[in-house]
Structure 1
Amino acid sequence: MTEPAPSGGGPAELSKNALKKAAKEKEKAEKKAAAKAKELAERQKKETDDANDVSAEDYGELPMVGSAEFKPTGLQRESLSNITELEDKEIVFRCWVANARVQSAKLAFLNLRQGLNTIQAVVAASEKLSKQMVKFAGNISTESTLLVHGLVKKTPEPVKSATIQDYEIHITKLFIEVKAEVPLPMQVEDAERPLPSEGLGDEDEKAEESDGRPLVGLNTRLNNRTLDLRAKINHAIFVIKSGVCALFQEFLGSKGFVLIQTPKILGAASEGGANVFQVKYFDREAFLAQSPQVYKQMLIASRFPRVMEIGPVFRAENSNTARHLTEFTGLDMEMEFQENYHEVMSMLEDLMLFIFKELNARYKQETELVRSAYHVDEFKLPESGKVPRIPFSEGIKMLREAGEELGDYDDLSTPQEKHLGKLVLERYNSDFYVLDQFPLAIRPFYTMPSPTNPALSNSYDMFMRGQEILSGAQRVHNAELLIKLMKSHDPPVDPTGPGMRDYVESFRYGCPPHGGGGFGLERIVQFWLGLPNIRMCSLFPRDPQRIMP
């Protein structure tokens, strides 16, 4: 019988395996040698290219400003807003990168931004500009800050991707001043797109536009606010907000109003103790001001006939709505009147008409930029002296006729305010109007009762697009009547208590009749532009859920 062959193979098979192993080792060594040779060749080519780089001194990353000895260049820095005056001139300017892309080894395009302006820049290889510079330009990270030298040229056809469409920059030198880290937590271009809704819920973070791109919701934007604020639309919002403040002071200043600054840290709650923030003040308790109201009135009693203030207001209201903040900016005014509190209303109406008209004239570009994103109708303006003044009772009647159920002296809810705004727009063709003679029970204790109906008061609210922007009234200027109203108020206010005693006493020395009002600056901006959320109008908004950043 023949025995089976032993396992493992004979000498011939072992020799075959050794040959295979040797061949693999040789192949591996050859690949390694080839890779090393390729790397060496590329390094040598790069060294040669670098040595022959005609643009070597014309691009790169600059040392941090302030880290090296300052040597002035004497070069004038230009603004892109003057681009029409700079055609065919070589200019120097600082900007940042909105977008950069390499078109080919010899061509790159950059979208450069400066303020609200964007412009296309071209980096094209030539005898004087190297391919290395083209590659460098096309790979600059978005949001990096640049120092650019370039020639301003007229474009053969409009560049639709830039705000400056008839000119472009042919770059000659390009330096990174500050390099932006990547990846960014959000893209600035995402903040240029409108919010999907009022932006109060997490569902907005999951929404998508029709093109499939994710919509960046309000929470993400506010959590990355420095990037969010770089969006042109946000710059426009805050330019307009600044403009409202300037126009407020300009108009009232021309009418003899004195700008004042009143305390924001108080020893007692100034308006009855509701919705007030308490703070520790050394070894005792203090409060943040809910308004400058008592101080405005005390200044009228101090013989300042007309005063105005722009300052922070703090309200501890747990209102998580699209139009409430716990800290906002108040535009306040107070003035003597001669015969009737409607003199104050007329001043306030003319103030707002001035602001609206000047916003249209001086801030047209910014207004149109924001409204183009939100597709808001033009703000309908009445003429001076023709602002609709609607008695509160008439407003109630209009709402009832439109199907709303509410009592004669009920306060209006937000939906009812908006509904009334639509009715007023239909009837009067105005987005701005006044409700007059509010019920006394829903107004502050310092409000003058109406002489014709003790249940009403000489008080008023002003509205934009059906939403309140101002609350105002004739103030009580008689100490005894003020004490009576304070004690009967719900809840009662102690006229001898801390913070109230000095206020009440100031009227015992003779105080002229006066009235005024307080606007919410952010609301004016929100409703003027038709924005879905008031947080968009506060640089770093504060609400019941947000105290950072």
Structure 2
Amino acid sequence: MAEQAERVVPLTDPPGAEEKGPSKSALKKAAKEKEKAEKAAKRQAAEEAQKKEAESSDISKNDYGELPMDGAWPSDFPSKEDVPRVQLPQLLEYFGDASRTETPGGPHVVFRASVENARSQSAKLAFIVFSRGGASIQAVVAASDELSRQMVKFCSSVPAESYVLVHGLVKAPKEPVKSTTIQNLEVHVKKLFVEGKAEAQLPMQVADAERPIPVEGEEEAVDGRPIVTLSTRLNNRVIDLRAKHNQAIFAIKDGVVALFEEFLRSKGFRGIQTPRLLGSASEGGANVFEVKYFATKAFLAQSPQLYKQMLVAARFEKVFEVGPVFRAENSNTARHLTEFTGLDMEMEFEEDYHEVVSLLEELMLFIFNGLKDRYARETDLVRSIYHVEDFKLPSAGAVPRLPFSEGISMLRAAGEELGDFDDLSTPQEKRLGALVLEKYGSDFYVLDEFPLAIRPFYTMPTAATQASYNPASPNAGYSNSYDFFMRGQEIMSGAQRIHNATFLEQRMRAHETPVDPMGEGLRDYVAAFRAGAPKHGGGGIGLERIVMLWLGLPNVRLASLFPRDPGRLTP
């Protein structure tokens, strides 16, 4: 059998297997894309050439722009010797006399400010509103032989809230500018550099913060602008704090501290600084924050109370402190914070604890009258947003001072049902405040001699209570203690303190919430009185509450820079 011839496999692909080229539609599409890209490149090149040409002919190219982050001073900027540096609020002081603004070629000023808004009127004209330190002024940027259209365009596009460095000419406007605080002056901009540029889209605007916080259930403002809630404002607190009335709130808050210290120093008090980290919940309450402290744990101080007393026992005689206070209370109300600023004082007295009460009344009237005299503008600004009646003050020496029993009687006469020794609820406190205002014409009053059972263990019982002491009812009766109220809300709690170690131990064990006088954190406190201590008393004032109630703010969080409450630890 003859061998079958070996089949030869062709080296070429079979018919139809050859590779197909691009389709006509694909080639057409590619050509269009190429043409489009070429046109875009030509357009970009033309724009860049036009930009370069514009820059080369921009007579103001060195007079505007963004400053480098290293803070380098712009070239050719006027020196301090040639042009004064001013703050916006000073402009009225310097140039209130309109004739000074008519000086040919001047007066020139240099200042830093933030941009409230910038708007283009035309290719040759822009208006900017600058603000700083509670003052605002209108500025004009006008194209001329010495100022380019490019600079006008740049200035009109600076985002609101940007921080800028300005050199300008102070002039009198043709008509008063009603939208700014400085109405009889305006600035004609000569140079403008952006020092800190804001983003174009911010979470909220300062103008949103300059309206009252919305009431619960409110969805849309009367003017149609979106409502910005308290939560949104606090989440963006840096922007929120730029609002003029917020600046005023914290000027007033600082003023309260200054007045507090001024008065007490004039009375011979000494400032102190006590610990905020404690080894135990020393006052016996459960409302303390526990923190890790190396290999053990510590607690944040509820108040400087025990240390104030120990310092009086150490012969410091009269002490005061301004510092943070921490309360682990899950109170989500408009009047509670978990961290606030305490204004505390403690002092010896000669004969009767009412010496302390009288000094505290004098202190509060000094603060109130100081706010009226020194912070009237700030107070009026805030109250123009949060409308509230003027705070009605009694005359010196005429502060209403009611025994607790009288307060109970007034509430009962007004229809309230409560027992002789019941603690007052917040609504009852407000009701009593209204009754006191009606009867005595004062928004400020003192409630004296609280029931012993509702005061801390270190509170001295009244002489009558001690005389009728019954071991079966160790917390019956009244105490030498007092609360101060503004607009029907408590701002300060105080008392005469027990200064005898033996009696102090007895009261600690017999208290409604007993504590061990030999326990950690209390042992040293009790020992301080074994070495002999004078009669003494004092009080602790909530700073934020004073500010809130003086101004009529609807929420105490508005009086705290970065408030802390059960649901907020940031920012």
Question: Quick check: TM above 0.5?
Answer: yes
Q: Determine helix, strand or coil for the equivalent of 1:86.
A: helix
| Inter-partner Cα distance in structure 1 for 2:408 and 2:310 | 35
| Inter-partner Cα distance in structure 2 for 1:273 and 1:290 | 9
Q: Per the alignment, do residues 52 and 362 of structure 1 end up closer, same or farther by CA in structure 2, a change over 3 Å counting?
A: same
- Which of 34, 45, 66 in structure 2 is aligned with 1:61? 66
**C-alpha deviation, 1:158, in angstroms:** 2.3
Q: Per the alignment, do residues 49 and 69 of structure 1 end up closer, same or farther by CA in structure 2, a change over 3 Å counting?
A: closer
**C-alpha deviation, 1:531, in angstroms:** 0.5
Residues 289 and 299 in structure 2, CA contact (< 8 A), matched pair in contact too: yes
* Corresponding residue number in structure 1 for 2:87: 79
| Inter-partner Cα distance in structure 2 for 1:46 and 1:505 | 82
Q: Which sits farther off after the overlay, 425-434 or 157-166?
A: 157-166
| Inter-partner Cα distance in structure 1 for 2:74 and 2:65 | 19
Deviations 1:111-159 (A, max 9, x none): 1111211111111111111111111111101111100001111223221
Say if 2:433 is the partner of 1:421: yes
| Inter-partner Cα distance in structure 1 for 2:182 and 2:427 | 42
Give the alignment of 1:428-507 within 5 angstroms. Answer: 428-453=440-465, 455-507=477-529
CA RMSD of aligned residues (A): 2.5
Say if 2:183 is the partner of 1:175: no
Deviations 1:264-295 (A, max 9, x none): 11111121132111112112222111111111
Q: Determine helix, strand or coil for the equivalent of 2:479.
A: coil
> 5+ residue gaps in structure 2?
1-23, 96-100, 102-106, 466-475
Say if 2:171 is the partner of 1:153: yes
| Inter-partner Cα distance in structure 1 for 2:279 and 2:174 | 68
Say if 2:52 is the partner of 1:47: yes
Residues 86 and 152 in structure 1, CA contact (< 8 A), matched pair in contact too: no
* Corresponding residue number in structure 2 for 1:7: none
Residues 124 and 134 in structure 1, CA contact (< 8 A), matched pair in contact too: yes
Q: Which sits farther off after the overlay, 237-246 or 151-160?
A: 151-160
| Inter-partner Cα distance in structure 1 for 2:380 and 2:247 | 13
* Corresponding residue number in structure 1 for 2:346: 334
Say if 2:270 is the partner of 1:264: no
| Inter-partner Cα distance in structure 2 for 1:70 and 1:306 | 58
Q: Determine helix, strand or coil for the equivalent of 1:383.
A: coil
| Inter-partner Cα distance in structure 1 for 2:276 and 2:495 | 22
- Which of 347, 350, 367 in structure 1 is aligned with 2:362? 350
**C-alpha deviation, 1:28, in angstroms:** 11
**C-alpha deviation, 1:65, in angstroms:** 2.9
* Corresponding residue number in structure 1 for 2:236: 224
Q: Per the alignment, do residues 127 and 480 of structure 1 end up closer, same or farther by CA in structure 2, a change over 3 Å counting?
A: same
Q: Per the alignment, do residues 42 and 254 of structure 1 end up closer, same or farther by CA in structure 2, a change over 3 Å counting?
A: same
| Inter-partner Cα distance in structure 1 for 2:275 and 2:264 | 21
Residues 486 and 549 in structure 2, CA contact (< 8 A), matched pair in contact too: yes
* Corresponding residue number in structure 1 for 2:4: none
> 5+ residue gaps in structure 1?
1-17
**C-alpha deviation, 1:355, in angstroms:** 0.7
| Inter-partner Cα distance in structure 2 for 1:511 and 1:25 | 98
- Which of 213, 237, 247 in structure 2 is aligned with 1:195? 213
Q: Per the alignment, do residues 105 and 73 of structure 1 end up closer, same or farther by CA in structure 2, a change over 3 Å counting?
A: closer
Q: Per the alignment, do residues 458 and 289 of structure 1 end up closer, same or farther by CA in structure 2, a change over 3 Å counting?
A: same
| Inter-partner Cα distance in structure 2 for 1:143 and 1:455 | 60
* Corresponding residue number in structure 1 for 2:402: 390
Give the alignment of 1:508-523 within 5 angstroms. Answer: 508-523=530-545
Residues 229 and 235 in structure 1, CA contact (< 8 A), matched pair in contact too: yes
* Corresponding residue number in structure 2 for 1:406: 418
* Corresponding residue number in structure 1 for 2:559: 537
Aligned residue type for 1:328: F
* Corresponding residue number in structure 1 for 2:386: 374
Residues 277 and 288 in structure 1, CA contact (< 8 A), matched pair in contact too: yes
Q: Per the alignment, do residues 483 and 26 of structure 1 end up closer, same or farther by CA in structure 2, a change over 3 Å counting?
A: closer
Deviations 1:511-530 (A, max 9, x none): 11111000001111111111
Aligned residue type for 1:546: R
- Which of 113, 125, 129 in structure 2 is aligned with 1:111? 129
TM-score (normalizing by structure 2): 0.87
| Inter-partner Cα distance in structure 1 for 2:315 and 2:78 | 57
**C-alpha deviation, 1:536, in angstroms:** 1.1
TM-score (normalizing by structure 1): 0.90
Q: Determine helix, strand or coil for the equivalent of 1:351.
A: helix
Say if 2:315 is the partner of 1:303: yes
| Inter-partner Cα distance in structure 2 for 1:398 and 1:124 | 69
Q: Determine helix, strand or coil for the equivalent of 1:332.
A: strand
| Inter-partner Cα distance in structure 2 for 1:209 and 1:40 | 49
Residues 471 and 517 in structure 1, CA contact (< 8 A), matched pair in contact too: yes
Deviations 1:43-74 (A, max 9, x none): 55443332222211111111113479999974
